[in-house]
Amino acid sequence: MKHKFVRSGISLLVVVILVCLSGLKTVARETDPFTFPELDGWEIKQEYPVYNPGTLWDYINGAADSYLSYDFEELYIAEYIKGDVSFKVEIFKHATPRDAFGIYSTERSPGFSFIDLGIQGYHEESLIHFLADKYYIKIRTHEASGEVEDAMMSIANSVVVSIAGIDHFPETIAMFPGKGKKPETEIYIAENFLGHSFLGSAFSTDYIRNDKNFKLFIIVRENREDCLKLLKQYFEFARKTEKTPEEGEIHISDKYNGKILIYWHNNMIFGTLNLEDRQLQIQVIGEIKELLK
């Protein structure tokens, strides 16, 4: 009888441990797979796995590196089928809204047909791409028709509602002056800005003023010390005689990118590219300084 009690006690202990481990596993999971909205008359097919940074290559071999550079986390996929027609929904989840904007900004073009969807979206023949919080969503079909496109737009709106969250571009975008800015050219580069690994990430936008085409860029770091370290490396690359950068206006002669005017303020560095007009340089830098206030 004693043996039987011991065996029963051990069995009970094992069950308790398994239940606890199971509970811990559930709690440790950061998110559950995305729940795709239903659509009357359409079957939802979800046979794809949830792709992660280690498996994304299995799905988008040629483009995986670009997505991974923007802190890609998971990809959820579903197909909506009705008879002989279908469309696919791909939901790319990134670590932050800034990262999602980054990959979205690299794939959009100023000539696209932009629509009011999520933070922003565009609708071209057979596809709808849009941005919502930290998600970049793609909906596409091979059988374009009024019915299919209406269904795609219905799902797009439902996805936006289900995601909610942040509904605006990264705040840094608002720091670019409006005068002369070319619409829909804002972009976030995640790494190797201007081809230099030490510059890391940056925002940039295209401009035209006084018949001159140029770019403005903004680099934001955690603190002043990070900016100082970055600029010291840039000084070394550009072989500037000064060893220690000081806040304010800085001129860099970059053998790959030409003459660059930089302004350093606290944890921000901003400047001009492809602009040699001194008066215009001073003007646009001054406008960003005003926006900082």
pLDDT by position in tens, the chain (length 293): 444 333 334 333 333 333 333 333 323 334 457 899 999 999 999 999 999 999 999 999 889 999 999 999 999 999 999 999 999 999 999 999 999 999 999 999 999 999 999 999 999 989 999 999 999 999 999 987 889 999 999 999 999 999 989 999 999 999 999 999 999 999 999 999 999 999 999 999 999 999 999 999 999 999 999 999 999 999 999 999 888 899 999 999 999 999 999 999 999 999 999 999 999 999 999 999 998 87
Q: Say if CB 102 and CB 190 are below 8 A apart.
A: yes
Do the bridges between strand 72-82 and strand 43-45 make them parallel or antiparallel, or are there none, so unpaired? antiparallel
Whether residue 255 sits in one domain with residue 192? yes
Given 146, 163, 180, which residue is the final one in a domain? 163
Residues 184 and 288 in one domain: yes
Let me know if residue 7 belongs to a domain.
no
pLDDT of residue 18: 34
Which pLDDT value is given to residue 220?
97
- Quote the CA–CA distance of 166 and 168 in Å, as a whole number: 6
Is residue 15 situated within a structural domain?
A: no
Q: How many domains does the chain have?
A: 2
pLDDT value for 7: 38
Do 282 and 182 share a structural domain?
Answer: yes
Let me know whether 67 and 133 are in one domain.
yes
> Is residue 264 assigned to a domain?
yes
Whether residue 13 is contained in a domain is answered as no
Within a domain: 11:
no
Whole-angstrom Cα distance, residue 63 to residue 56? 9
Question: Which domain range does residue 208 map to?
Answer: 171-292
Reported as half-sphere exposure (CB side, CA atoms, 13 A), residue 81 has a value of: 9
**Residue 83 domain-assigned?**
yes
Q: Are 97 and 145 members of one domain?
A: yes
Q: Reduced to 3 DSSP states, what percent helix, strand and coil does the chain have, rounded to the nearest 5?
A: 35, 30, 35
Q: Is residue 8 part of a domain?
A: no
Are 201 and 102 within one domain? no
pLDDT at 11: 39
DSSP single-letter state for residue 33: P
Let me know whether 91 and 155 are in one domain. Answer: yes
| pLDDT at 164 (0 to 100) | 86
CA distances from 84 to 79, 154, 178, 274 (A): 12, 19, 47, 52
Residues 148 and 195 in one domain: no
Residues 50 and 132 in one domain: yes
Indicate if 189 and 112 belong to the same structural domain. Answer: no
Q: What confidence score (pLDDT) does residue 292 get?
A: 84
Same domain, 87 and 144: yes
> Which domain-ending residue is among 163, 183, 218?
163
Q: What pLDDT is stored for residue 32 in this prediction?
A: 54
Decide which of 114, 147, 163 is a domain's last residue: 163
What CATH code is carried by the domain that includes residue 77? 3.40.1000
pTM for the full predicted model: 0.86
| pLDDT 10s digits, 54-94 | 999 999 988 999 999 999 999 999 999 999 999 999 999 99
* pLDDT at residue 12, rounded to an integer: 37
Place of tokens 């300084």: 289
